């Protein structure tokens, strides 16, 4: 096992301020998932009562894994592959796999969804979706084909917006940790909080908002007996905190020697949850308003995921009596900013890994990756792109993410030893963590995530995911995971350009 010293790496970049690191971590965590997934999960899983499993998942898994990733990145001073290699060379591949499936998987389609948001900022100016936002989105805008096997044509407005998204990602990461990522987050995070607050205040004053909020938060404790509610809580915490992707490891590797790791982990978890909860207020007030205006019962207006953002919301925007265009711009801008801060964290996690291992210059690495990211994203900007997006997302953000988190916990908990990491974290943090951290990393998290994995697998085997043809699920979803794994193994076998 190698213990890095600062002298070994005199040139590693460093955050200018502790706040800069916190905002970057929160920027990665807060994303599209907070705005369109969390509120719906709450509604579907017992309203206010869902906060109980969510907070339990946050405390027993989310924050301990954040502490683990911050601790490992900080102590080993490297991206995920380098940090894991410093624990044991046999495990370097795991770090590569994490950053590979997030870079050559998640960010490819995540950037496309941000591109949709960019298009919708533009469409808001004229309320371009007209009287039928559903037909506009699926047919006019996406040109959705019959399924993943029919690729259809490339949608030029999406590709154009995708160029903008990648230029922004590229620019931010190109200028490095302090001058690019930290500065960008110091602008984007306050902007995001401001936008969100404006939306909340605006939507709360709409007639019918109260009815929507009641549906969002009215607790139904009976639901807590259903295991699926708990599964939803744990998987949402995992995805929402951006853990298991090697991102937080890379970000923590840029911290100075003295840094309060436990406080930052708690604050990141807390702020992420707060944003998700607040976004829910805006989303459900709007849906309540829509239900009142259209006279439709609430269950008929509520949607989740892309349906919420690109169909239900445009419908509600068109109903507003005044400033509807401004409202649309604010909403889609909020999604865009939340998405970009997450996308740049992915680009940085992979770039850091390449720079650590091969010592190529940052500017070249980031430029090549941004071009590849843009080109790779084009497949999701076609008529069949929505189905591809759905399948790849399911494979990576369920199977990939859970397996990566389980293995990471086993590596740190059992091979490196959880108590050693805890001692490192405690030595520099004000709030000290106790035995529960070891228990969580060694037993609880691997156990719970294995359960989630098995239950996902059983569900998928019983019924193909979303009714897609098996062949598409296997060729796209499963093979995407396998190919990234093989790529990770190959890169891990290459020698380090400099001693670890
Ligand atoms: N945490 C982000 C969200 O909630 C998603 C994300 C996934 C960000 C992977 C970075 C990496 O939307």
pLDDT tens sequence across 284-322: 999 999 999 999 998 888 887 788 899 999 999 999 999
Q: Residue 45: helix, strand or coil by DSSP?
A: coil
**Closest CA to ligand 1's atom 7:** 242
Q: Is the CB of 102 under 6 A from ligand 1?
A: yes
User: Is 80 exceeded by the pLDDT of residue 11?
Assistant: no
Q: Identify the pLDDT of residue 7.
A: 45
| CA of 32, closest atom in ligand 1 | 12
Q: Of residues 441 and 466, which shows the higher confidence score?
A: 441
- Whether ligand 1 lies within 6 angstroms of the CB of 36 is answered as no
How would residue 9 be classed by pLDDT, with cut points 50, 70 and 90? low
- Which residue carries 């990602």 as its tokens? 169
Report whether pLDDT(254) > 90: yes
Residue 6 has pLDDT above 50, yes or no: no
Residue 236 above 60 pLDDT?
Answer: yes
Confidence label for 36 from pLDDT (cuts 50, 70 and 90): confident
Better pLDDT: 459 or 340: 340
Return the minimum-mean-pLDDT range out of 68-77, 269-278, 365-374, 464-473. Answer: 464-473
Which of 27, 33, 348 is the best mutation target for the ligand 1 pocket, counting ligand atoms within 8 Å of the beta carbon and taking the most?
Answer: 33
Cβ atoms of residues 63 and 263 within 8 Å: no
Closest listed residue to residue 289, CA positions, set 272, 307, 302, 306: 302
User: Which ligand 1 atom is at minimum distance from the Cα of 272?
Assistant: 4
**Spatial separation of the C-alpha atoms in residues 471 and 405, rounded to whole Å:** 27
- pLDDT score for 231: 85
Q: Are 268 and 70 contacting, i.e. CB atoms less than 8 angstroms apart?
A: no
> Could you read off the pLDDT of 177-214 as tens digits, one per residue?
999 999 999 999 999 999 999 999 999 999 999 999 99
Ligand 1 centroid to residue 23 C-alpha, Å: 14
3-state helix, strand, coil in the chain (%, to 5): 80, 0, 20
Any ligand 1 atom below 6 A from CB of 345: yes
Mean of all residue pLDDT scores within the chain: 94
Between 500 and 181, whose confidence is greater?
A: 181
**Ligand 1 proximity of 268 Cβ (cutoff 6 Å):** no
In this prediction, residue 56 carries a pLDDT of 96
- pLDDT value for 397: 86
Write the burial class of residue 466 (CB in 10 Å: 0-12 exposed, 13-18 middle, 19+ buried): exposed
The Cα 259–Cα 21 span in angstroms is 10
- CB distance 284 to 39 below 8 Å: yes
DSSP class of residue 433? P
d(CA 261, CA 255): 9
pTM for this predicted structure:
0.95
Per the CB < 8 A criterion, the answer to whether 40 and 215 are in contact is: no
Cα 199 to Cα 117: distance, rounded to the nearest angstrom: 16
Q: Ligand 1 center to residue 107 CA distance, Å?
A: 9
Average pLDDT value for residue range 431-440: 96
Lowest mean pLDDT among 111-115, 132-136, 409-413, 473-477: 473-477
Q: Is the pLDDT of residue 5 over 90?
A: no
pLDDT score at 327? 97
């Amino acid at each position: 096992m190698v213990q890095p010293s600062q002298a070994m790496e005199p040139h590693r970049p460093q955050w200018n301020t502790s706040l800069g690191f916190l905002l970057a971590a929160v920027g990665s965590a807060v994303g599209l998932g907070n705005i369109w997934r969390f509120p719906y999960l709450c509604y579907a899983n017992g309203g206010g009562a869902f906060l109980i499993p969510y907070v339990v998942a946050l405390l027993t898994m989310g924050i301990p894994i954040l502490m683990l990733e911050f601790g490992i990145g900080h102590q080993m001073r490297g991206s995920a592959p380098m940090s894991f290699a410093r624990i044991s060379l046999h495990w370097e591949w795991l770090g590569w796999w994490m950053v590979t499936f997030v870079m050559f998987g998640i960010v490819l389609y995540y950037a496309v969804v941000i591109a949709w948001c960019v298009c919708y900022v533009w469409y808001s100016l004229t309320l371009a979706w007209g009287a039928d936002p559903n037909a506009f989105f699926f047919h006019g805008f996406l040109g959705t084909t019959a399924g993943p096997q029919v690729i259809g044509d490339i949608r030029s407005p999406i590709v154009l917006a995708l160029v903008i998204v990648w230029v922004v990602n590229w620019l931010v990461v190109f200028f490095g940790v302090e001058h690019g990522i930290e500065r960008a987050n110091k602008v984007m995070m306050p902007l995001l909080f401001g936008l969100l607050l404006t939306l909340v205040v605006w939507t709360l004053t709409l007639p019918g908002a109260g009815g929507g909020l009641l549906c969002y938060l009215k607790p139904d404790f009976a639901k807590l007996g259903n295991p699926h509610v708990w599964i939803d809580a744990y998987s949402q915490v995992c995805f929402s905190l951006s853990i298991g992707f090697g991102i937080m490891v890379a970000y923590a590797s840029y911290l100075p020697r003295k840094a309060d790791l436990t406080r930052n982990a708690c604050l990141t978890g807390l702020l992420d949850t707060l944003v998700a909860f607040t976004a829910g207020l805006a989303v459900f007030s709007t849906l309540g308003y829509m239900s009142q205006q259209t006279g439709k019962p609430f269950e008929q207006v509520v949607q989740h995921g892309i349906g919420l953002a690109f169909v239900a919301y445009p419908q509600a925007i068109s109903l507003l009596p005044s400033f509807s265009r401004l409202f649309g711009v604010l909403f889609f801008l909020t999604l865009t900013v939340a998405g970009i801060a997450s996308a740049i964290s992915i680009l940085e996690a992979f770039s850091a890994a390449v720079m650590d291992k091969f010592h190529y210059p940052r500017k070249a690495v980031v430029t090549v990756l941004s071009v590849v990211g843009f080109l790779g994203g084009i497949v999701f900007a076609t008529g069949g792109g929505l189905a591809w997006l759905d399948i790849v997302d399911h494979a990576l953000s369920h199977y990939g993410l859970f397996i990566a988190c389980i293995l990471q916990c086993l590596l740190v908990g059992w091979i490196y030893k959880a108590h050693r990491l805890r001692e490192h974290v405690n030595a520099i943090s004000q709030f000290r963590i106790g035995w529960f951290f070891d228990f969580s990393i060694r037993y609880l998290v691997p156990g719970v995530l294995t359960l989630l994995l098995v239950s996902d697998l059983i569900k998928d085997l019983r019924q193909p995911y979303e009714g897609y043809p098996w062949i598409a699920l296997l060729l796209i979803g499963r093979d995407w995971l396998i190919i990234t794994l093989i790529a990770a193994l190959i890169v891990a076998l290459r020698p380090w350009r400099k001693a670890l």
